Amino acid sequence: MYQVEIKNSCACAIKRGIPDIQSFATKAEAEEEANALINQMQNEFCKKHNFELKSEFGNFVIYTRPN
């Protein structure tokens, strides 16, 4: 089981109903979702935050940091 986790969700993620943790059967599925999320967050959100994707112990974590 592999996870995509968003640390410190911003208001834009909460408004869109993006869950803080999602689980996937394969690493490839988790990586695909993590890349799709980080792309959406960087391009569609309000630009008040920066987002960084890291691979940690086989899981993918998106960190939310203020600009």
**pLDDT score at 43:** 94
Candidates 60, 55, 67; CA nearest to 10 is 67
pLDDT tens string 26-53: 999 999 999 999 999 999 999 999 999 9
Which residues, in sequence order, are CB contacts of 41 under 8 Å at separation 6+? Answer: 12, 13, 49, 51, 62
Residue 67 confidence class, pLDDT cut points 50, 70, 90 = confident
User: pTM, whole model, 2 decimals?
Assistant: 0.90
Residue 62 confidence class, pLDDT cut points 50, 70, 90 = very high
Residue found by looking up tokens 């208001």 in the block: 11
Helix (H) or strand (E) holding 53: strand 49-56
